[in-house]
Amino acid sequence: MELRKVGGIPSGDIRLPPSKSIMHRIIIAEFLSGRRDFTEYAGISDDISATAACVTALSRGGAQITLNCGESGSTLRFVLPLAAALGVNAKFTGSAGLLSRPIAALSGALTENGAEIKLSPDCILLSGRLRPGKYVLPGDESSQYFTGLLFALPLLDASSEIVSAGEVQSKPYIDITLDIMSRYGVNAMETANGYAADPQTYIAPMEKISAESDWSQAAFFLCASALGAKCTIHGLRTDSLQGDRAVLDILRRSGATVSELNGGITLTAERLNAVSFDASDIPDIVPPLAAALCVADGESVISGCSRLRHKESDRLKTVSEALSALGANIKISGDTLIIRGKPELSGGQANAAGDHRIAMMCAVASVKANGDVFIGGADCVSKSYPNFWSDWEGTEK
């Protein structure tokens, strides 16, 4: 396990990788519209490489296909219903952490509509074929279930509906899915309690779609800027469908000043103030915001964090443990993080727990640490942002 000393504070121009959420969806839509070569996506990040590898394997066919999803929850939850709609016999593999993450609700909805799925700690075996019908999903477990089904259901030979049992959380991610589908000529309708889709054909647009920059990754540099880093973030769309653009509003509420000039965004703040917000729709930006609020005046409360428990780590726990190790006053109460701000952090050694967002969060915390910050397992950033450390420290890429 790599033990990395965080070096320096980011400055200058930062050009972010493309949105991971959008890239997953573009690759799947490209595959469904007939594309078969996805080599250009290899190396963007581990998660994107996993989705590209899975659709490549689907395009090649075979009696039983092995689909290695790596550590990517998006890949597994998007490709499982897709393979079921195509009637593919497949063996889904991945890291132990991935296969322990929630999937039963999605697999249950699939098996009730024609698929045969066997879950084990080592793999997921799929056979059978989906039929049109009603698919009932929990709204508060993962929006990725909805995305996977939304991509798959138009492939069936009659209309289908997705019914949400309870309010859908992280709905902005589903909005991204619907937008990408529409750009490939396929439309699903939002209903009073879910979504409905008719049989349709995916058609690639005349001009290839490119993904905008990633607000989830931008949040780490924006929070660092609010703590004193002097960098300008390029490539972000302030009208983006990405829900994580809410980081700007939260930082504004905390006292940061946001400036937009020549396509770049900069933040400054003399001092941050405590702020409270509900993270139900924006779980991925909890780590950087928690790091920033550790040095804000007053007590911040981040509620709606239940789904953080089922990420690459139990992120509610690892956010608290890593920031505490660096000197923060932070505690968990149910599904809520309570942070009492301090003038600065002490520094020290924290464990990334195999979670890319925890490693990057510790970098943000280092901006206001009066001692060195060391991160165990810092190389896990390759899951979503392989160039994070070179961008952070300004070294050659």
Say if residues 212 and 143 touch (Cβ distance below 8 Å): no
Six token digits for residue 51: 């989705």
Distance CA 394, CA 397 (A): 9
Six token digits for residue 116: 């045969």
- Element housing 47 (H / E): helix 46-60
- Chain-centroid distance of CA 78 in Å reads 13
Six token digits for residue 133: 């019908």
Label each residue of 147-176 as H, E or C: HHHHHHHHHCCCCEEEEEECCCCCHHHHHH
Say if residues 120 and 135 touch (Cβ distance below 8 Å): no
Dump the DSSP string for 181-195: HHHTT--EEEETTEE
Say how many residues make up the chain. 397
Could you tell me what percentage of the chain is helix, strand and coil, using 3-state DSSP and rounding each to the nearest 5? 40, 25, 40
Q: Active-site residues: which are they? A: 284
Angle between helices 20-32 and 143-152 in degrees, nearest 10: 20
Distance CA 379, CA 43 (A): 15
Distance CA 346, CA 371 (A): 6
Side-chain-side CA neighbours of 329 within 13 Å: the count stands at: 12
| Cross-sheet strand order for the sheet of 134-138 | 134-138, 160-165, 194-197, 188-191
